[in-house]
Amino acid sequence: MNPSNRLRGVFSPVITPRADDPRQAAAMLVRHCRWLLEQDVGLAVFGTNSEANSLSVAERMHLLDALAEAGVPGPRMMPGTGCCALEDSVELTRHAVAHGVGGVLMLPPFFYKGVSDDGLFASYAEVIERVADPRLRIYLYHIPHVTQVPISLALIERLLHAYPGVIAGIKDSSGDWANTSAMLERFQPRGFDVFAGSETFFLATMRAGGAGCITATGNVNPGPIARLYRTWQAADADAQQAALDALRATFMQFPMIPALKAAVAHFSGDSGYVAVRAPLVRLNAQQNAALIAALQAREFSMPGL
């Protein structure tokens, strides 16, 4: 039930550089993506930590085109394509599939709250029917503290039944192990790949048969996270997990997306990476200094960046 061409392992919701010149922003994105691929981390471009919903549809398509033109392999990408407007989700999904991506990570429409499972089922069904491409693989994106629109187990059951093969898995960013565990038990044996939504439950997810993790800190700590994926059955796996947790805790002392961008800017030597899009705000000088000091105290580095 688990086809060999399915996405597995560690993915990063890649930070999206911002620059006045779109070509420069694209070049900075390509550079960061190449570094992640060198560490064996796949590209969940246009995720939450990518500020994807702060980008227009045209901006997202331009950046994906730029990645493809730079030779980034489609099968190593899992772009986010879920928008409030299904028209936009359809356009982005068609475009991503045409680039041969390994799958798309799809938020539910997230403007209205308290919507029914019938309405969410109809949303995903409409995108699937309109894209109408046998190559389409959808990873559901469950991140209720942001969307306020949860993807229930009952909804997954309905979608899997209606669209087997197309509904390929989930990123569970609920932070609720009971939920992740339930999905691993009920759906993973049926070829529905469960990805931990951060490294917090990464080892637990692997031990329960999951497919990997998709994590913000993959942007800055890809090597060690990818190593745990390769060696999760090794004797030092718990120690590796503890080290990942400690680094994550350092970043969690700051607003995550600006902190990731500040770290990439510092260790790459390109200060342009710090720019964010409103309503996010970059770290102030004091926060930036505190972050870098905390990382240096841990002897943290980003080798090869």
Residues within the interface to its own copies (CB under 8 A): 53-59, 84-88, 91, 108-113, 115-116, 118-120, 122-123, 125-126, 145-146, 148-149, 277-281
Shortest reach from residue 143's CB to its own copies, in Å: 10
The full length of the chain comes to: 305
Shortest reach from residue 112's CB to its own copies, in Å: 6
Sheet with 193-196: list strands edge to edge. 42-43, 9-12, 212-214, 193-196, 167-172, 138-142, 104-106
3 state SS of 115: coil
When the beta carbons of 167 and 228 are compared against its own copies, the nearer one is 167
When the beta carbons of 37 and 280 are compared against its own copies, the nearer one is 280
Task: Take residue 37 and report the two structure tokens written for it.
Answer: 């691929």
When the beta carbons of 153 and 234 are compared against its own copies, the nearer one is 153
d(CA 126, CA 88): 12
Cα→Cα distances 137→52, 61, 124, 185, 271, Å: 19, 18, 12, 21, 36
When the beta carbons of 17 and 42 are compared against its own copies, the nearer one is 17
Shortest reach from residue 47's CB to its own copies, in Å: 12
Shortest reach from residue 189's CB to its own copies, in Å: 29
d(CA 143, CA 150): 7
Shortest reach from residue 228's CB to its own copies, in Å: 29
Q: How many helices (H) and strands (E) does the chain have?
A: 12, 7
When the beta carbons of 269 and 279 are compared against its own copies, the nearer one is 279
Shortest reach from residue 110's CB to its own copies, in Å: 7
Residue of 199, 230, 204 lying closest to 215 (CA atoms): 199
Shortest reach from residue 273's CB to its own copies, in Å: 18
Q: What angle do CA 95, 101, 105 make, to 5 degrees?
A: 85
When the beta carbons of 3 and 113 are compared against its own copies, the nearer one is 113
Shortest reach from residue 48's CB to its own copies, in Å: 8
C-beta of residue 29 within 8 angstroms of C-beta of residue 66:
yes
How distant is the alpha carbon of residue 162 from its chain centre?
Answer: 25
When the beta carbons of 50 and 250 are compared against its own copies, the nearer one is 50
When the beta carbons of 28 and 128 are compared against its own copies, the nearer one is 128
In 51-76, which positions are buried (b, 16+ CB within 10 angstroms) versus exposed (e)? bbbebebebbbebbebbbeeebebeb
